[in-house]
């Protein structure tokens, strides 16, 4: 059934691209009227090997990454985020549509695998880092929770309901836990659902409880480490923009206003003190923003902020710039090969047409 859906989606993308309907949709939704920002998380050499201990939708192979860049380069002018900002503010113009490349979270494989490709091709890019993890061996919260759930579900030892019961016994309760208990024991789906409405304090407590019961295993986790300050300095010297992704990757819409202010201000301070340049760009963790978080980002002194959907705040349009997040399978045909038609539809947000954003952009009660 999934292969049939993929084939239908692939056929539709060819039809839309060949007739130019994809560009018409981009014009109607307004996404073609602003410069494009495409986002990635990790770039790895071997997808199959990396996916054993990593969240698959965060991975892009170096081969696929180059195919994305080559296609974008034929249709757009690659520019830096600063140039994107100038265009958005009305201070620059271009005869060709613009596109910028950015990476979230600050994984070290961006330095090892993506950075050399970008330098070789002369393409500017940006990386949004979690400053509290820079130079450490600590994992991101989502990676650690994912691996613990994978360990819990291995060999059908635990069900989703049993995991929820374990968390409830530790007095961890969130609004969505009842739904989580009815889910299939898929580590990624359950991880995403548990984090959906949890504060960072609750998320860390979940990890603590699961660590007391399950092992992470003996897998290799080098790819999950963060960039070092030395790597960031080298990338910045080569022309890359270094932006903020908060201090600890807190999902700001799940936090208090005070916590949001602390996360945004402290991360900006860390970057400016260590890299000695002004930090203008901020990416919301998981693309989540609402009126309170955008106000916090504005108060912290950022000029531009980036989400992962078409939702924009009329009061802060420059702090809610859409980004199209891509990964290994976001632009492939039903046989798993790169598809120019699928890439065109992604860049014009065709597959998002008529669908609501999964995130709640209203204020948290």
The string of pLDDT tens digits covering residues 324-356 is: 999 999 999 988 899 999 999 899 888 877 556
Mean pLDDT of the 35-50 span: 95
Answer for the pair 88, 357: CB distance below 8 angstroms, yes or no: no
Give Cα 250 to chain centroid, integer Å: 13
Answer for the pair 196, 179: CB distance below 8 angstroms, yes or no: no
Binned at pLDDT 50, 70 and 90, residue 17 comes out as low
Answer for the pair 193, 176: CB distance below 8 angstroms, yes or no: yes
Q: What was the pLDDT predicted at 334?
A: 85
- On the CB side of 349, CA atoms within 13 Å amount to 26
Alpha carbon distance 282, 289 (integer Å):
11
Does residue 219 or residue 299 have the better pLDDT?
Answer: 299
Percentage of the chain beyond pLDDT 90 is: 73
pLDDT of 76-86, one tens digit each?
999 999 999 99
Collapse the DSSP code of 292 into the 3-class scheme (helix H, G, I; strand E, B; otherwise coil) and give the result. helix
Q: Please choose, from the candidates 4, 8, 15, 2, the residue with its C-alpha nearest in 3D space to the C-alpha of residue 341.
A: 15
Collapse the DSSP code of 60 into the 3-class scheme (helix H, G, I; strand E, B; otherwise coil) and give the result. strand
Answer for the pair 61, 45: CB distance below 8 angstroms, yes or no: yes
Answer for the pair 168, 209: CB distance below 8 angstroms, yes or no: no
In the chain, domain spans:
2-138+221-352, 141-211
Within 8 A by CB and 6+ apart from 153, the residues are: 159, 185, 186, 187, 190
Residue ranges of the alpha helices (H) in the chain? 2-19, 21-29, 47-50, 62-75, 81-88, 109, 115-121, 141-153, 160-169, 177-181, 187-196, 200-211, 229-237, 257-275, 291-299, 340-347
Percentage of the chain beyond pLDDT 70 is: 85
pLDDT of 247-263, one tens digit each?
999 999 999 999 999 99
Tokens 């997040």 sit at which residue? 325
pLDDT of 272-288, one tens digit each?
999 999 999 999 999 99
The CATH number fitting domain 2-138+221-352, selected from 3.40.50.720, 3.40.190.10, 3.30.450.20, 3.20.20.370: 3.20.20.370
- On the CB side of 254, CA atoms within 13 Å amount to 22
DSSP labels, 222-234: GGGPBPPHHHHHH
Mean pLDDT computed over every residue of the chain: 89
Helix axes 200-211, 187-196, angle to 10 degrees: 140
Alpha carbon distance 237, 220 (integer Å):
31
The CA-atom distances, in angstroms, between 153 and each of 150, 216, 362 are 5, 12, 34
Within 8 A by CB and 6+ apart from 363, the residues are: 290, 291, 292
Binned at pLDDT 50, 70 and 90, residue 365 comes out as very low
Q: What is the dihedral of CA 235, 69, 346, 280, to 10 degrees?
A: 20
Q: What was the pLDDT predicted at 21?
A: 63
Q: What was the pLDDT predicted at 222?
A: 76
Beta strand 77-78 with 59-61 is unpaired
Q: Please choose, from the candidates 237, 279, 314, 347, the residue with its C-alpha nearest in 3D space to the C-alpha of residue 85.
A: 279
pTM of the model: 0.91
Mean pLDDT of the 111-117 span: 98
Binned at pLDDT 50, 70 and 90, residue 307 comes out as very high
Residue 6 reports pLDDT greater than 90: no
Alpha carbon distance 10, 339 (integer Å):
8
Provide the sign of the torsion angle of the four alpha carbons 331, 142, 62, 320, taken in this order: positive
Residue 4 reports pLDDT greater than 90: no
Q: What was the pLDDT predicted at 309?
A: 87
């Amino acid at each position: 059934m999934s292969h049939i859906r993929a084939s239908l989606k692939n056929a539709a993308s060819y039809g839309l691209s060949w007739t130019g309907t994809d560009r018409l949709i981009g014009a109607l939704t307004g996404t073609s009227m602003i410069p494009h920002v495409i986002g990635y998380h990790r770039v790895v050499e071997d997808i199959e090997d990396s996916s054993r201990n990593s969240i698959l939708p965060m991975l892009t192979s170096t081969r696929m990454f180059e195919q994305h860049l080559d296609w974008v380069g034929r249709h757009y002018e690659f520019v830096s985020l600063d140039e994107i900002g100038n265009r958005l503010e009305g201070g620059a113009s271009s005869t060709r549509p613009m596109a910028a490349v950015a990476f979230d979270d600050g994984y070290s494989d961006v330095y090892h695998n993506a950075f050399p490709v970008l330098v070789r091709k002369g393409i500017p890019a940006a990386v949004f880092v979690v400053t509290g993890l820079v130079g450490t061996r600590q994992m991101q919260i989502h990676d650690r929770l994912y691996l613990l759930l994978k360990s819990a579900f291995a060999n059908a030892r635990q069900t989703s309901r049993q995991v929820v019961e374990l968390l409830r016994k530790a007095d961890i309760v969130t609004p969505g836990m009842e739904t989580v208990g009815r889910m299939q024991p898929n580590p990624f789906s359950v991880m995403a659902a548990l984090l959906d409405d949890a504060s960072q304090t609750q998320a860390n407590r979940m990890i603590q409880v699961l660590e007391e019961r399950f092992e992470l295993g003996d897998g290799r986790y080098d790819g999950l480490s963060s960039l070092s300050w030395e790597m960031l300095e080298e990338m910045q010297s080569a022309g890359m923009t270094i932006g903020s992704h908060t201090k600890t990757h807190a999902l700001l819409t799940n936090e208090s206003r005070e916590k949001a202010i602390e996360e945004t201000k402290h991360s900006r301070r860390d970057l400016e003190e260590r890299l000695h340049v002004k930090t203008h760009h901020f990416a919301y963790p998981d693309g989540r923003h609402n009126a309170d978080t955008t106000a916090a980002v504005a108060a912290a002194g950022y000029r531009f902020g980036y989400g992962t959907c078409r939702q924009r705040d009329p009061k802060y349009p420059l702090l809610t710039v859409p980004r199209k997040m891509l990964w290994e399978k976001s632009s492939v045909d039903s046989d798993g090969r790169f598809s120019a038609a699928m890439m065109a539809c992604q860049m014009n947000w065709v597959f998002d047409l008529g669908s609501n954003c999964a995130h709640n952009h209203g204020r948290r009660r």
